[in-house]
Structure 1
């Protein structure tokens, strides 16, 4: 019982962190075999996320090799912190300063996809909207009163909650129809959605870099067990065929 209570005490904070929003989420239709998508996601992360967030359990060299990026090219274009390719992805921001600016130190994102889920992340990245009442001028539909700026706003443009006049129950009302960009971003709506899907895929990869290899090995293990089962049945028949 004591061990059970201790395990429950460790699991409850994670469950509470993952719960939060319980509404509908957009499907993140990512593909971990798509190296181009993962490379684009890594580029977005290094340029827009690593300035504040760390990924202290992931090494640059491992990432470059897994994603098919030459190590020297990855260091030149994507490595902005650390001295060598074997270093961890640690943000250059000072922890105490970031705590003062944001109210708390931005969390490490190595395992965020396993805690939150890919659908949650994909929806979150696309749910920021303009809110002048907030310190950074933005809020988020699935993470109310979020304490971070909209880091990729230059890609999306200024996102605003949009309403349309529609007939409801016999009278005209302003009906909320979703978040739309003002068009000032570098990407179109479709391109921005794809960019956020790429970023989500990269975060899913870093949560379990061995996922594809583990899945591949699983097929071999299942195949071996099937063959072993057949041999076991044949051997049993051989031993018992003369026993009546």
Structure 2
């Protein structure tokens, strides 16, 4: 019997499924699916300013990318000198402020994201959205996408432990009924890639605002643009053995 790392995933069920490949694509949201980080940075600055804190520098803003919102809120409360306040409560406020900005400013998909989602639909491979943004933010964008783009949505308000803990990605795989090694995670952040690594999942890192590095079962690509199902399959196989 071959080792688990050497076994192929199920064959996609769609009409264009000519090669074996990942059984599911698990997408991060902010910075991977959509260019929403400016809205989060605006929300973070708004929250700290309202609490009487100093301006947030760029390095601090980038360090918050991909974290569970309660963890981001703890950092912001510390910057504002208000560590006496409840981080979970201010995580909800932070989410609301980001949603306000996204609704007002609009959110663009990242390069190549729409085409890859269409490719996944064409070959019959389900996608899950796995994010530390709360479900209200995720729905704001998902409801504008073609029907069937995401079979599962896991928001930060649906898990007990956020990224870099493996719970978010393992929850998505379980909901899809797919083994971790048969998934392919798409991520742009350090906490997100660590979450996928901790879940034992092959991962494509697409650096955006953070300097992520190759790692176990993780390879890097510069963009999602131009990916065919054949190239996705090749990258998934490479990541499984990285």
Q: Normalising to structure 1: TM-score of the pair?
A: 0.23
Which structure dedicates a bigger proportion of its chain to strand? Answer: 1
Which structure dedicates a bigger proportion of its chain to helix? Answer: 1
Greater Rg, structure 1 or structure 2? 1
